[in-house]
Amino acid sequence: MHRSQLAALLSAFLLLVAGCSAPVSVPGSSPTAEPPTETTDTSSWPDDPPTDRLGWEAGYWHNESIDVNQSDGLNATEREAFVARTMARVEVVRELEFTESVPVEVISRAEYRNQSDEESDPAPADWNDQVWESLLLVGEDRTIEQVFDEIYGGAVLGYYSPSEDRIVLISNDGTPTIDRRTLAHELHHALQDQHFGINESPPTQDEQLAENGLVEGDARYVDRLYEDRCAADEWECVTRPAGGSGSGSFDFPVFLTIYTPYSEGPTFVSALHQRGGWEAVNDAYENRPVSTEQVLHPQVYPDERPVAVTIEDRSSADWVRYDTDPVGDTVGEASIFAMFWKHGAIDKTDLQRNPGPYSAYNYTSGPSAGWGGDLVVPYRPASDSTAEANPNQRAYVWKTVWDTEKDADQFEKAYVTTTLKLRLGAKRVAPNTYVIEKGPFADAYRVTRQGDTVTIVNAPTVEELDAVHGQR
């Protein structure tokens, strides 16, 4: 998937999972018993410092009481106090100073939807669809855009925009309330941006998820530490409003894929913090993780890097690659895990067994571990008229490289024996060749393994497999 679509998704996804009610159970995100609404007692606080300092922002100390009551929504004065003190508290937890104030804007949900509709993805939609189809997550009966719409629903509550340096909160009515953990999370994104820059995004799906493992992991780790202080009555905290409901119906395996940074990122950042304090986390922004493998297995970061995978174009004149940059996508270990989880190639109950200390789920499995690198290259018919007449007339080549031949063999068996044949009803019609006759993944598949490398070729028919990627 190209940068624009997945990066935009992860950005707008923030408040769906950061401290408010998400469509899944996330440890540590549920409101706890709350202290009473705070009252102002300015006589007990020291004077404002002559210059800005850690733990003080815009006239408020991090442990200062504020007069905020959200029962009838926040007025401008309450919002200003709430934001300023939260900034001071984020500074104390993260041991970094805000260099400038952060605007917090509230817009209506209708306005947000209009903005979302106006955003465009320069990558061809069917290119993206082929990437997700290669993972056997989104078939030809749907588009990935439709699936994303289902996941979003009306549950997105806001986001931090690095390009505009502002936080946007989305309100269903004219009197918005703010969840303190959500606010801390989004303010921390502004803090990250001021110190490290988070506006750029890598070109492939796996790199985007990996880098967001650091960015989101840092923010969720901080908002968790923030919330722990509230729960322990170390700080007086503004009562959290009742959580909104998540989307009623959504594709959980796709959700599982894009949730990777939020689930596994905090444990990754916690591991860095244990290695060398906040300085080790700061240093990671100069050497950001480049694969979900590094995020899922912090012990391999930063030394174990993915291998560069290339696919020779062996297509006939009837098939061409898309005019995209890059020409293919890397899906990575976390996405492969989601594929095998969806189709029961791994024990589904392992998902919630022994997650990391700050993780919601356990994304490790035998068939997905040992990933060394991969590349998916989508193809389309050379004739535009053929492509327009049949949108499902698409193909792809997916090459995966594994740490060992044993890892490659385990992946191949989980993909062919359990996923294609057992779960999707594929029939073997020739050596290494399978056909799924019905359903959203009805196509021809050729799966070959050479040592530590497994190559999957997909085409509408068996006869077209060689036309897409000729055998050598």
User: How do residues 121-145 score in pLDDT, each as one tens digit?
Assistant: 545 789 999 999 999 999 999 999 9
DSSP string, 195-228: HT------SSHHHHHHHHHHHHHHHHHHHHHHHH
Greater confidence (338 vs 114) lies with 338
Question: Rounded distance, CA 326 to CA 203, Å?
Answer: 7
Indicate whether 283 belongs to any domain.
no
How far is residue 436 from each of residues 45, 132, 251, 311, 378, measured CA to CA in Å?
Answer: 71, 17, 22, 24, 19
Question: So what's the pLDDT on residue 440?
Answer: 97
Tell me what pLDDT residue 108 has.
Answer: 76
Q: Is the pLDDT of residue 363 over 60?
A: yes
Question: Phi then psi for 416, rounded to 5 degrees?
Answer: -80, -55
436 in a structural domain: yes
Does 308 reside within a domain? no
**Which token pair is 331?**
């899906």
Report if residue 435 sits inside a domain. Answer: yes
CA nearest 55: which of 1, 99, 97? Answer: 97
**Cβ neighbours of residue 363 under 8 Å, at least 6 residues apart?**
260, 263, 264, 292, 296, 333, 334, 337, 351
In the chain, % of residues over pLDDT 90: 70
Separation of alpha carbons 446 and 423, rounded Å: 17
CA-atom Rg of the chain in angstroms = 24
Angle of CA points 329, 335, 341, to nearest 5°: 150
Mean pLDDT across the stretch 372-397?
A: 86
Least confident segment among 143-147, 245-249, 281-285, 302-306: 245-249
Contact 60, 54 (CB under 8 A): no
Tell me which DSSP letter residue 138 carries: S
The pLDDT tens digits for 160-170 are: 999 889 998 77
What integer pLDDT is reported at residue 88 of this predicted model?
97
Instruction: Determine the 3-state secondary structure of 389 from DSSP.
Output: helix
For residue 446, tell me if it sits in a domain.
yes
State the alpha helices, DSSP H only, in 363-464.
Answer: 384-389, 405-413
**Mean pLDDT for all residues in the chain:** 87
Residue 422 lies in a domain: yes
pLDDT at 81: 96
Burial of residue 236, with CB atoms counted within 10 A of its CB: 0-12 exposed, 13-18 middle, 19 or more buried: middle
Torsion angle defined by CA atoms of residues 93, 94, 98 and 101, in that order, rounded to the nearest 10 degrees: -60
Coil vs helix vs strand at 447: strand
Query: What local confidence, expressed as pLDDT, does residue 116 receive?
Result: 65
Across 42-46, 79-83, 190-194, 300-304, least confident range: 42-46
Tokens of residue 52, six digits: 């800005």
CB-side neighbour CA atoms (13 Å) of 86? 29
Total domains present in the chain: 1
DSSP string, 306-373: PPP--------TTEEE-S-SSSSB--HHHHHHHHHHHTTSS-GGGGGSS--TT-SS----TTTTTEEE
Between residues 196 and 152, the one the model is more confident about: 196
Higher pLDDT, 156 or 253: 253
Q: Which domain holds residue 449?
A: 319-468
Answer whether residue 408 is part of any domain: yes
Residue with tokens 């106090």: 81
Res 240: pLDDT? 84
Task: Write down the pLDDT at residue 267.
Answer: 97
Instruction: For residues 181-188, give the mean pLDDT.
Output: 92
Task: Compute CA distances 202 → 60, 210, 216, whole Å.
Answer: 38, 9, 15
> What residues are paired with 454 via a beta bridge?
400, 449
Taking each helix axis from N to C terminus, what angle separates 205-231 and 332-342, rounded to the nearest 10 degrees? 80
> What pLDDT is stored for residue 387 in this prediction?
61
Q: What is the pLDDT of residue 386?
A: 65
- Please say whether the beta carbons of 359 and 263 come within 8 A: yes
Rounded to an integer, what distance in angstroms lies between the CA atom of residue 313 and that of residue 399? 12
State how beta strands 166-171 and 427-430 pair: unpaired
Residue 407 has pLDDT above 80, yes or no: yes
Q: Quick check: is 57 in a domain?
A: no
86-115, pLDDT tens digit by residue? 999 999 999 999 999 999 887 777 787 777
- pLDDT surpasses 50 at 455: yes
DSSP class of residue 414?
A: I
- Tell me what the mean pLDDT of segment 218-225 comes to: 97
Q: What is the value of pTM for the model shown? A: 0.89
Split at pLDDT 50, 70, 90, the class of 2 is very low
Instruction: State yes or no: pLDDT of 347 exceeds 80.
Output: yes
What digits encode the pLDDT tens for the residues 29-74? 322 323 333 434 444 566 777 777 899 999 999 999 999 998 888 8
